Amino acid sequence: MTALRVTGLTKSFGSVRVLDGVDLDVPGGLTAVLGASGCGKTTLLRLVAGFLEPDAGSIRLGDRAVSGSGRPVPPRRRRIGYVPQEGALFPHLDVAANVAFGLASGRRSAAARRRVEEMLELVELPRSAAARQPHELSGGQQQRVALARALAPRPDVVLLDEPFSSLDAGLREETGRAVARALRASGATAVLVTHDQGEALSLADQVAVMAAGRLLQVASPSEVYLNPAGPAVASFVGHAALVPAAAVAGVAASPLGPIQVRGARDGRVLLAVRPEQVVVTAEDEPGCLRAEVLEVSFFGHDATVRARVVGTDDLVDLTARVSASGVPEPGAQVGVRVVGEVLAFPEDAR
């Protein structure tokens, strides 16, 4: 049975439609809702939690309709755990009391103490953390405690709203992996809202890509990356330069020259060129297009180079992923070449 099913969910604030007919099936496991700031992700979570009521559409949790047919089920009876962005812990309670907060058995019972121990182990915190105050923990540890508290009453579904956004890069990755392990071990179904594509692709079983209140694609991380539903998904997830072209029998005539394409019928298309398909070479290498380096982002393990192709009527900027050694300087003249088959979408696709 589907753990969470959202159908035709629509919500406006005043005259602004924030969610516009969202359909989402969460079979179990971890689903990431990935989208830019303001696209409606938090509103979707708040509707599922029951903090807001939809204007139209319905929400089912397992075999129960909780919104959209008859009287809505109040949040406390939805069997949902909620992990907000930060500052979620009660500052005046120690970790044990925070984790035990939602337990029916009362915070001080032997059953509650056992459950707190189990939960701390699940989120990979030492038993000694139980007696600490929240301010004595790092940001990552605090988010693990927030998850332990959400999981303690054995919810069917856990909702996590950008739970790692306040953490720095290293801690963010480590905490994300620990949280995903704990969620899997608990068996709870989870919906994680994030604007971070790396987080969504690396942690989730299913990724729902959202833009302007709609879901553009719901699929596995590899499917979303390798077979994006349209140019918007291709350029948002993993980045892609969109280049207009005309395709005939698997080859597109484009400002970059003839390009092998996949996925397009003959006609006007948009090519989605991934950074790993762009090779940067010396300016005078035969068969290359000449380009000027606009911007370089150095990441240590590798770098990305944004370069503008020169000598074409259309303005074409390509981004290349290059190894960390021998990164060109901004302003340098280089050669660029597109390798492999490039994704192509009909020109009017979204």
Is 13 near ligand ATP (CB under 6 A)?
A: yes
Is 41 near ligand ATP (CB under 6 A)?
A: yes
As measured in angstroms, the least distance from the Cβ of 195 to ligand ATP is 5
Q: Which stretch binds ligand ATP (CB under 6 A): 41-49, 89-97, 110-118, 138-146?
A: 41-49
Nearest partner of 59 among 102, 103, 19, 18, judged by Cα: 19
Amino acid in position 31: T
Q: Which stretch binds ligand ATP (CB under 6 A): 40-48, 119-127, 228-236, 240-248?
A: 40-48
| CB nearer ligand ATP, residue 236 or residue 345 | 236
Is 277 near ligand ATP (CB under 6 A)?
A: no
Report 113-142 residues binding ligand ATP (CB under 6 A). none
| CB nearer ligand ATP, residue 35 or residue 335 | 35
Count of beta carbons in the 10 Å neighbourhood of residue 8: 14
Query: Per-residue x/- mask for ligand ATP, residues 20 to 39, rule CB under 6 A?
Result: ---------------x-xxx
Report 173-232 residues binding ligand ATP (CB under 6 A). 195
Report d(CA 6, CA 47) in Å as an integer. Answer: 10
| CB nearer ligand ATP, residue 151 or residue 210 | 210
Is 42 near ligand ATP (CB under 6 A)?
A: yes
Report d(CA 148, CA 172) in Å as an integer. Answer: 17
**Phi, psi (deg, nearest 5) at residue 283:** -60, -35
Is 163 near ligand ATP (CB under 6 A)?
A: no
Continuous H helices in the chain: 41-49, 95-99, 110-122, 139-151, 169-186, 197-203, 221-226, 231-236
| CB nearer ligand ATP, residue 47 or residue 66 | 47
* C-alpha torsion angle, residues 40, 43, 48, 49 (rounded to 10): 150
Q: Is 125 within 8 Å of 49 (Cβ atoms)?
A: no
Is 18 near ligand ATP (CB under 6 A)?
A: yes
| CB nearer ligand ATP, residue 61 or residue 210 | 210
Q: Is 33 left (phi over 0), alpha (psi -120 to 50) or beta?
A: beta
| CB nearer ligand ATP, residue 196 or residue 285 | 196
Tokens at 76, concatenated: 């406390």
As measured in angstroms, the least distance from the Cβ of 91 to ligand ATP is 23
Among 3, 32, 40, 66, binds ligand ATP (CB under 6 A): 40
Is 172 near ligand ATP (CB under 6 A)?
A: no
Report how many residues bind ligand ATP under the rule CB under 6 A: 11
Q: Is 4 within 8 Å of 60 (Cβ atoms)?
A: yes
Contacts of 295 (CB under 8 A, 6+ apart): 305, 306, 330
Q: Which residue do the tokens 């693990």 mark?
A: 144
Residues in contact with ligand ATP by the rule CB under 6 A: 13, 18, 35, 37-43, 195
